[in-house]
């Protein structure tokens, strides 16, 4: 838990500094982004404190890095001046989402004996989940640009590059899960997550195992 606190505080200090800078510059979009990043950065700690789920610390670092890179790209204009910055942020955030999707699949696999997901299938299912979420996000960006004129989408090529980058993130996440599960028992990973409350919520919401 100490490691979780240290990681959270480290990134919160950086994000709050960027929030203050955004407010001082009077750019509402920067401030809005930094503000919600500050709020969302507390979620892994809150979930762990309430014993809902303990996300692995490398994943928490990746979450903080994704928020930091995004806000930094806005306030420094690196999104506009460095074409590769957008790819880095999409790659990091994609790995985060891929990891969260893999954890969800692992918990689903754990709670019912009627569902078994072989390790090799994660190489297909995780990228598929990422592509689905990426398409939804690109639709959100399109309507945000049309309605609010915030300039989230730069071109058709930019959109396609984002999709390809997130597909790569999904493949990295799927490979990581497949590699881990082939060398460690799933029970070990589930035990480290300490997600008993979350599994119980699934039971209350969807019924006992094998009644999904």
- Distance from CA of residue 171 to its chain's centroid? 14
Cα torsion 75, 11, 142, 157 to 10°: value is 80
Given 64, 81, 98, the domain boundary residue is 81
> What pLDDT score does 178 carry?
83
Question: Which residues, including other chains, have CB under 8 Å from residue 36's CB and lie 6 or more apart?
Answer: none
pLDDT tens per residue across all 212 residues of the chain: 788 899 999 999 999 999 999 999 999 889 999 999 999 999 999 998 888 888 988 899 999 999 999 999 999 999 888 878 888 988 898 889 888 888 888 877 766 666 677 778 888 888 888 888 888 888 887 887 777 776 666 677 777 888 888 888 888 888 888 887 787 777 777 777 887 777 676 666 655 555 44
What's the CA gap between 58 and 147, in Å, rounded?
37
Q: Is the domain of 34 the same as that of 87?
A: no
Domain count, the chain: 2
Calpha distance 111→203 (Å, rounded): 8
* Residue 185: domain span: 83-212
Domain co-membership, 61 together with 151:
no
Rounded Cα distance, 117 and 109, in Å: 6
| Confidence (pLDDT) at 211 | 47
pTM: 0.81
Question: Do 95 and 51 lie in a common domain?
Answer: no
Tell me how far apart the alpha carbons of residues 28 and 9 are, in angstroms, rounded to a whole number.
24
Residue 137 sits in the same domain as residue 167: yes
pLDDT of residue 156: 76
Question: Could you tell me if 76 and 111 lie in one domain?
Answer: no
């Amino acid at each position: 838990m100490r490691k979780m606190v240290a990681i959270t505080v480290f990134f919160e200090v950086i994000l709050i500094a960027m929030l203050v800078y955004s407010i001082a510059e009077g750019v509402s979009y920067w401030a809005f982004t930094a503000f919600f990043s500050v709020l969302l950065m507390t979620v892994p700690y809150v979930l762990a404190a309430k014993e809902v789920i303990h996300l692995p610390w490398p994943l928490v670092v990746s979450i903080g890095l994704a928020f930091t890179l995004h806000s930094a790209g806005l306030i420094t204009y690196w999104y506009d001046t460095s074409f590769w910055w957008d790819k880095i942020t999409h790659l990091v955030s994609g790995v985060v989402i891929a990891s969260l999707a893999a954890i969800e699949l692992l918990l689903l696999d754990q709670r019912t004996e009627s569902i078994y997901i072989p390790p090799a299938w994660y190489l297909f299912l995780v990228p598929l989940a990422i592509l689905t979420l990426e398409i939804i996000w690109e639709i959100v960006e399109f309507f945000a640009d049309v309605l609010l004129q915030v300039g989230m989408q730069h071109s058709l090529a930019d959109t396609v590059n984002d999709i390809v980058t997130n597909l790569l993130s999904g493949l990295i996440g799927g490979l990581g899960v497949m590699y881990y599960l082939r060398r460690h028992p799933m029970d070990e990973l589930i035990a480290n997550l300490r997600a008993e409350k979350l599994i119980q919520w699934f039971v209350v919401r969807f019924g006992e195992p094998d009644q999904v």
